[in-house]
Chain A
């Protein structure tokens, strides 16, 4: 049945599916994992770095960049300094959406003389994606985005969009390959204690990624935004430090557990 209704984006199947949109969601699962966490005074975005081919310039494969000073996305791009988005899925589609979002951020600032809010730019990206699910001859964008940032009111925000053009606010979420495993980990471990302070929130993000990232800390990229502070990218050394701390804590917890049982 699916084969007759999945070729053209503008066609609903008899049971109400838009197969191209669902297939686009499968494309997202082929991208690497990204995790976003909303803490009390911090937002954290972690992405799995793919290993770069030998002859490839690593700079051009970086995942986290800016849309503006306040907005960051994972395939993280800095939009504005308080908003950090990341896109996972088809790289080329991500680039196109990032460019449009950057233009929109500047245009908004020129018109309204205020930087975009996280929700505004999320809505813009989601609307753009939705347009491509309702146009003749165009396919949907094969990307999901995690958008984190702070608004002027100082409240941290995390939004997720998907190829269908929907967007929702989250406390913590993951997209990309093995997102389900990471989300289950977050559901278990996202507690008030876990995000009580900034370093705990950062550790939670790294622990969530370590569940699915092969070969540990050197394949993780991390960015954070603290309230009223600019975006901070973690260097490989800083991430390694965090990973070592996490492993130490894990060992201690296991020792305590074995003591209790004996």
Chain B
């Protein structure tokens, strides 16, 4: 037994196993109804990859169908806005697929005109150089869905001659450091790379004990296991919603090898970014 702060008495779980175990197991035996519910839930949470134009689903993994040498993945609305303004407007990109998924936190939308306010996961390749693949993912991929997402996108065999660049954001209060939080100049960029990534990253590396979470972590782990050179640029910010200053914090990445050839017109990109901000400002009245 243990007492909590508020004075409740709770039963502490016992690892030794008790005599009651047999009775508990009987109660837990699955019925056909349980199995059916479980099946339906699994079906609902399935990650499906398909082409929006033809509405046909992909039978092989995305990278098998569209092998690439550069794969740039933006996860989160600020990273997506950065790629939209700086990379996607400097060339003609063709959509090659999109991922549909559902979880308690988000449901990907079906509309053709995607705004930063909606949740989606779309894949594009550069028409002039189809070996460059880009992913804009602004939906939350739950823990049980990350493996499926990786299977459907990367497949289950090693990809040769490919480099992966990930961009994402995290709230600065998650950043663990011995300095005081008020001395941090957020937003700031940190990098985490796999062993096979030999280039110098565009910013300092993420120090311990900080860790990466969610889909970026899943992708990095996959790349590390399959020896794919990959780097994650993580922007710690104090504004998680779409914000100009946070998006501009990603600018140092424009000088990296994977993005250099893809960005042409920076002043125009800044204008596009500003327009994106103003047209998608979801004004909340809670904060003045």
B278 interface hit (Cβ, 8 Å): yes
Once the chains are docked, how many angstroms separate the CA of A94 from the CA of B287? 9
Interface footprint category on B: 10 to 19
Least distance between B237 CB and chain A CB atoms (Å)? 10
B185 A89 Cβ-Cβ under 8 A = no
B185 A91 Cβ-Cβ under 8 A = no
| A208-223 interface (Cβ within 8 A of B) | 212, 214-215
Interface footprint category on A: 20 to 34
B173 A50 Cβ-Cβ under 8 A = no
Among candidates B5, B238, B244, B277, residue contacting A29 with C-beta atoms closer than 8 Å: B238
| A126-144 interface (Cβ within 8 A of B) | none
Once the chains are docked, how many angstroms separate the CA of A14 from the CA of B245? 36
A215 B288 Cβ-Cβ under 8 A = no
B238 A89 Cβ-Cβ under 8 A = no
B-contact 0/1 string along A60-79, CB 8 Å cutoff: 01010000000000010000
Least distance between A72 CB and chain B CB atoms (Å)? 15
B274 interface hit (Cβ, 8 Å): yes
Q: State whether A180 and B286 are in contact (beta carbons under 8 Å apart), knowing that A214-B244, A214-B278 are contacts in the complex.
A: no
A-contact 0/1 string along B219-262, CB 8 Å cutoff: 00000000000000000001100011100000000000000000
B185 A178 Cβ-Cβ under 8 A = no
Once the chains are docked, how many angstroms separate the CA of A31 from the CA of B278? 17
Once the chains are docked, how many angstroms separate the CA of A111 from the CA of B14? 66
How would you classify the secondary structure of chain B's contact residues: helix, strand, loop or mixed? loop
| A156-194 interface (Cβ within 8 A of B) | 177-178, 180-181
Once the chains are docked, how many angstroms separate the CA of A178 from the CA of B111? 34
B288 A214 Cβ-Cβ under 8 A = no
B286 A90 Cβ-Cβ under 8 A = yes
B208 interface hit (Cβ, 8 Å): no
A91 B278 Cβ-Cβ under 8 A = no
| A1-51 interface (Cβ within 8 A of B) | 4, 8, 11, 26-27, 29-32, 50-51
A87 interface hit (Cβ, 8 Å): yes
| B1-56 interface (Cβ within 8 A of A) | 5
B283 A50 Cβ-Cβ under 8 A = yes
- Residue on B with the closest CB to A86? B288
Among candidates A50, A88, A214, residue contacting B274 with C-beta atoms closer than 8 Å: A214
Once the chains are docked, how many angstroms separate the CA of A61 from the CA of B239? 22
A52 interface hit (Cβ, 8 Å): yes
Once the chains are docked, how many angstroms separate the CA of A214 from the CA of B245? 9
B277 A214 Cβ-Cβ under 8 A = yes
B287 A90 Cβ-Cβ under 8 A = yes
Once the chains are docked, how many angstroms separate the CA of A88 from the CA of B287? 8
B128 interface hit (Cβ, 8 Å): no
Q: A residues within 8 A CB of B287?
A: 27, 30-32, 89-91
Once the chains are docked, how many angstroms separate the CA of A153 from the CA of B238? 41
A215 B274 Cβ-Cβ under 8 A = yes
Among candidates A26, A29, A90, A181, residue contacting B288 with C-beta atoms closer than 8 Å: A90
B281 interface hit (Cβ, 8 Å): yes
Q: A residues within 8 A CB of B286?
A: 90-92
B210 interface hit (Cβ, 8 Å): no
Once the chains are docked, how many angstroms separate the CA of A154 from the CA of B101? 65
Q: B residues within 8 A CB of A180?
A: 185-186
A4 B283 Cβ-Cβ under 8 A = no
Once the chains are docked, how many angstroms separate the CA of A191 from the CA of B79? 38
Q: State whether A181 and B278 are in contact (beta carbons under 8 Å apart), knowing that A53-B283, A75-B288 are contacts in the complex.
A: no
Least distance between A92 CB and chain B CB atoms (Å)? 8
Interface on B for A, CB 8 Å cutoff? Answer: 5, 173, 185-186, 238-239, 243-245, 274, 277-278, 281, 283, 285-288
4 closest A-B pairs by CB: A91-B288, A31-B287, A30-B287, A75-B288
